[in-house]
Chain A
Amino acid sequence: MNDQFLIDKARENLKEKIVEITNPARRRIFLEVGIDDLLASVSWLKNDLGFTHLSTISGVDLGETFEVIYHFANNYCCLNIRVKIPRDNPLLPSICELIPGAILYEREIKEMFGLTVQNIPDGRPLLLPDDWPAGNYPLRKDWKYERPPEVIPGGEK
């Protein structure tokens, strides 16, 4: 199994679902698919090629769209599936049915970017505190941290 073999396999199986496929370095493949084809692509990757290990899910704020990258790895290659979702309707299907280990990464991306993960088995907050104000998504580019004014208990009013 090498990079060219995987690219050929992807072209053969996913056909018109592929938006773009690149191979910028050895053992690195970036495969872009439409958001509706995400589950089909992950299922193909897992069942036909045996990529069971999801390293993590990265999110990038591109302004108008969010880019979500699923980093898969096996003993030969690191294959990254990229999807783009619009900012005004950030819906992402959950892949936990296929890859149960994705749950923590989905919970993380959900609260950090404010994406709606459909059918997520467990959607509670993971990293942010329980009294975190709603509508604040720290990793969005337009979110800025403002340090609250320091109040010394018992100090001057």
Chain B
Amino acid sequence: MNFQIPIGPQHPALKEPIGLRITVEGEIIRDADIRLGYNHRGIEKLAEQKTWIQNVYLTERICGICSHSHTTCYVQGVEKLMELETPKRGLYIRMLISELERIHSHLLWLGVAGHEAGFDSFFMYVWRDREIVMDILETISGNRVHYAINTIGGVRRDLDELQVKRILDSLEVLRRRSQYYLNLGTTEPSFVARLARVGYLSREDALSLCAVGPTLRASGVPMDVRKDDPYAAYDEVPFEVCTAGTCDVLGRTVVRIKELFQSYNIIEYLMKNLPTGPIAVRAPRRAKPNEVVSRYEAPRGENLHYIKSNGSDKPERLKVRAPTLGNYAATIKMLKNGFIADVPLIFAAIDPCICCAERAVALIDARTGQEKIMSLKSLKELSLKVSPTTTRKREIEWPL
């Protein structure tokens, strides 16, 4: 017999609000359904009412972890619309921040994966090292989360010699420790046993369901926007696209740890070849009527902004596709025929960044398995209707 279990929008196993409705048969998940919208903020509509420069700060607030990803994607699109030539030093600083962001996001994810797998000392070790990256970001931009380094035409803050030296010194520590995590993550028997063969997503499914980022690369598809469609100065920097062939959570872990090393190499290259010159150019207030598709490889995968201008100082349309949305269809596939205990692990493995979920409450009649969805309003009405007939606590006759 099938049962449906609602998980979320607020649930201890999930870090952010999302509604999952899972049909189980015993311990096995037979079907899964995702409901978004819990935290929908209407940013695309809002962006149409703000100027080009205001939107830089609006897009920064789409996400709290990949805040730089969204601004970079937006800003490089707007620079194309305004036909600006960003100075090389500005591009290098932008790339530096995006790689630092990738490192801190992947380290954060590794910690969460350790925690979900029941390996909490791993979680604490990794998050200790994440602080090194956060400190670098703070010295460069003044902020830990919303770096606000991008502006249309370049970046807002320059680097000095001392900062460069400090970044290079920190890389040594990070490299050494990441090597330890790679050994641990791939050889520690209980950790590997927990992750291997969980959340299987075959190469064909990953392609047909349009998965992105490490989820796609862990299914053996070498797709990375930095390589396929080089933006900023990624065509000058040597790096490799990391893939894994195991198609499971273990593969996604390995891909992310390997990407950490690639990011360290990229940062080292950027710091040793930092060009001199200005960091930004002046941007006009208006953009000619045109359209642009801007793509960016965020830590979670491909981020896409479609920007259309109409000649005024505000965009006609700004479409944002965050990488997590691209991975939901694949997540449903991964959850099917898995165990209910694997839900948090599989769900965490796509590194979800949710600004979404549901406003309804799912009521399930356990005896018939029938499900009713009620909105909060009708639920409240029901409670008001039921309460006059039920005996109040103070009216109950004390049994003793």
Please tell me if the beta carbons of A28 and B293 are within 8 angstroms of each other in the complex.
Answer: yes
B residues near A24, Cβ cutoff 8 Å: 290-292
Known interface pairs A55-B304, A138-B42; A104-B37 also in contact (CB < 8 Å): no
Q: How far is the CA of A69 from the CA of B222 in the complex (A)?
A: 25
Q: Is B295 an interface residue (CB 8 A)?
A: yes
Cβ contact within 8 Å between B295 and A129: no
The answer, among B210, B304, B308, B375, for a CB contact under 8 Å with A101, is B210
Say yes or no: B317 contacts A78, CB within 8 Å.
no
Contacts of A54 in B (CB 8 A): 210
Determine whether the beta carbon of A58 is less than 8 Å from that of B210: no
Tell me whether A38 is interfacial, beta carbon within 8 Å: no
A60 within 8 A of B: yes
Q: What residue of chain A has the Cβ atom nearest to residue B42's Cβ? A: A138
Q: Is the CB of A53 within 8 A of B207?
A: yes
Once bound together, how far apart are the Cα atoms of A130 and B229, in whole Å? 39
Question: Are B293 and A101 in touch, CB under 8 angstroms?
Answer: no
Interface size on B, residues (CB 8 A): 43
Chain B hits for A76, CB < 8 A: 228
Q: A126 to B375, alpha carbons, bound, how many Å?
A: 15
Q: Are A102 and B37 in contact (CB under 8 A)?
A: no
| A80 lies within 8 A of chain B by Cβ | yes
Report A72-119 residues with CB < 8 Å from chain B CB: 73-76, 78, 80, 99-105
Q: Which of B20-55 contact A (CB under 8 A)?
A: 35-37, 40, 42, 44-45
Cα distance A61–B293 in the bound complex, in angstroms: 17
Contacts of A52 in B (CB 8 A): 207-208, 210
Instruction: Give 26 CB contacts A-B under 8 Å.
Output: A24-B290, A24-B291, A24-B292, A27-B229, A53-B207, A56-B321, A58-B317, A60-B308, A75-B228, A76-B228, A78-B229, A78-B293, A80-B293, A99-B210, A100-B208, A101-B210, A101-B330, A105-B325, A126-B35, A126-B36, A127-B37, A129-B37, A129-B358, A131-B375, A138-B42, A139-B44
B contact residues vs A (CB 8 Å cutoff) = 35-37, 40, 42, 44-45, 80, 207-211, 222-223, 227-229, 290-293, 295, 302, 304, 306, 308, 316-317, 319, 321, 325-326, 328-330, 356, 358-360, 373, 375, 377
Q: Which 10 A-B pairs have the closest CB atoms?
A: A101-B210, A56-B321, A58-B319, A127-B37, A101-B209, A129-B359, A58-B306, A52-B207, A75-B228, A55-B304
